[in-house]
Structure 1
């Protein structure tokens, strides 16, 4: 049983799709998997998503009573403190999924009683170790596991399109970079996909098409099938799931070198500082050459194959089942 703030198909952010990708194999192994929401949304009744039972807050069902029947509890982001309290009160093992390296993430996971902390990258695991070294009185999770945000490549792979795309156009994700590039390159088609959070910067330019928020299951047809190059000039990414989704189609990703993106994209990533608009333009013009694009696309597909989630998910399922 997981407690999270929002879920697809209404809320489509990387953290929630990572969670869904981790829960799906548990469903396939025959487990009863439930997600209880902590924020009000559009859904008023229980619904099923990818085999997962989702219980909206509007359903007004009794979450604490449901916790008593659970074998394992999961939480992430803002729901960790309250779920941890219930886990301690009812003696249930708690799994905390960490999606970023901000201090509150590790502090909440170290509040006591966490059976398993899941980190989404090696660099996050190192940051956690630094936190526990800095705060030695914190209660370490009993165990930890790295699960890279699972991307099932066959669900995203398609023939790339023609646009230069940014997914989630808030300032921190690179909305201003997209705007500057679109102004400089009027002959190039750009695609601006509204994100699940943050104030969106949506250029009013003839060469920029704006897409409303896209459901995860529609990303292949509505976004990646129209994308030639993906931009990820994010100020912060703990991993960067969208980039890995694009790699499945051999779509080159031009990104700001955050620690997470450097680890997720590996040698397939093309890294340019987010403040270097000249650099982004130069890379995009270079990728316009067929030979350069073929080489970048080949690297992208190779990295996608390296990120096959099968081993991570097998280890994840085994650990969760051992807690029940």
Structure 2
């Protein structure tokens, strides 16, 4: 690039106050753009605890109450970016101001794909191979003119060195909503009263925190503190989610050789690969059986930890992030060439 780009993102919330997989994926893909010398701003669409602009891992975050001129920022951007519910409004500004639009897709829910189809998307970024395949089926019903001009798979980047720690003793669930498996955690804790469990409050969803003597509750945790406050205390991670398009916390845990037991969603099957230990979330007997095997058989645990370590290495994000940064710069170059 001949000059640094101004990249402006519009999303509903950001760390450290809101810590969910979508937001930490966003941080993970914006950091290397900052590393290439580009100016990156994230403007929030919903009111939160912060009222002044702040920096998060090199990214400038502008809360809703801090500035009132997002439209002006959008007009002066070289590239606009958004995800989830902010895509329609951001895409409207992109069309109005003639700016290239980048959409990050975290799920295959129909509104996500429909909003992208209506937005004149220059670059669609999918968090998994299966998500990209689903989008192809969706866009088969639409004329070529509404499809994203370019598509790219960027798996939610986890830099293993930033998450690696020595595992602890607890069995952990992160985000204690029913959809993420709070009932599975409670059932297992009742059946295994001598085992320590850790219940981490999530960033979204109704939190159903078990009130049991062997379950310790941990409040919502900033992603940068997860190794110290969660993974260093975890021996096995539970992911009995009804839906996961990828499952970032499983990849974070594997950086510390922590085995993951998961419900076989398409996203978790892709992210965990052969390191995943899969059981149906409705089969509590099955979850108890595999968990007890891991906790009582040292050989089985070592093998599971070895598979987790190998999968973590396979998911090194370097090539994904290089391709992502190149794609954003090419989108900006293409717009500049049209002027």
Alpha-carbon contact 1:177-1:233 (below 8 Å) kept: yes
Partner of 1:286: 293
Q: State the TM-score, normalized to the length of structure 1.
A: 0.99
Aligned counterparts of 2:91 and 2:63: Cα–Cα separation in 1 = 20
Say yes or no: does 1:307 pair with 2:315: yes
Q: Displacement of 1:61 after TM fit?
A: 2.4
Aligned counterparts of 1:292 and 1:217: Cα–Cα separation in 2 = 30
Aligned counterparts of 1:157 and 1:60: Cα–Cα separation in 2 = 37
Q: Residue 211 of structure 2: which of 204, 219, 232 is its match?
A: 204
Alpha-carbon contact 1:171-1:200 (below 8 Å) kept: yes
Structure 2: state its 5+ residue gaps.
1-7, 333-339
Note the 1:8-87 alignment, pairs <5 A. Answer: 8-87=15-94
Q: Secondary structure at the match of 1:283?
A: helix
What CA RMSD, in Å, does the superposition of the two structures yield over aligned residues?
0.9
Runs of 4+, deviation exceeding 4 Å: none
Partner of 1:106: 113
Partner of 1:260: 267
Q: Displacement of 1:137 after TM fit?
A: 7.1
**Deviation per CA, 1:47-86, whole angstroms, max 9, x where unpaired?**
0001000000011320011112110000000000000000
Q: State the TM-score, normalized to the length of structure 2.
A: 0.94
Q: Displacement of 1:138 after TM fit?
A: 7.0
Q: Residue 317 of structure 1: which of 313, 321, 325 is its match?
A: 325
Q: Residue 100 of structure 2: which of 89, 93, 97 is its match?
A: 93
Alpha-carbon contact 2:92-2:119 (below 8 Å) kept: no
Say yes or no: does 1:158 pair with 2:165: yes
Q: Secondary structure at the match of 1:42?
A: coil
Alpha-carbon contact 1:158-1:225 (below 8 Å) kept: yes
Partner of 2:335: none
Alpha-carbon contact 2:88-2:119 (below 8 Å) kept: no
Alpha-carbon contact 1:34-1:55 (below 8 Å) kept: yes
Alpha-carbon contact 1:112-1:140 (below 8 Å) kept: no
Q: Residue 134 of structure 1: which of 123, 128, 141 is its match?
A: 141
**Deviation per CA, 1:200-253, whole angstroms, max 9, x where unpaired?**
111111100000001000000000000000000000000000000000000000
Aligned counterparts of 1:171 and 1:311: Cα–Cα separation in 2 = 35
Aligned counterparts of 1:6 and 1:112: Cα–Cα separation in 2 = 21
What is the aligned residue count? 324
Q: Secondary structure at the match of 2:96?
A: helix
Q: Displacement of 1:312 after TM fit?
A: 0.1
Q: Secondary structure at the match of 1:164?
A: strand
Q: Displacement of 1:323 after TM fit?
A: 1.6
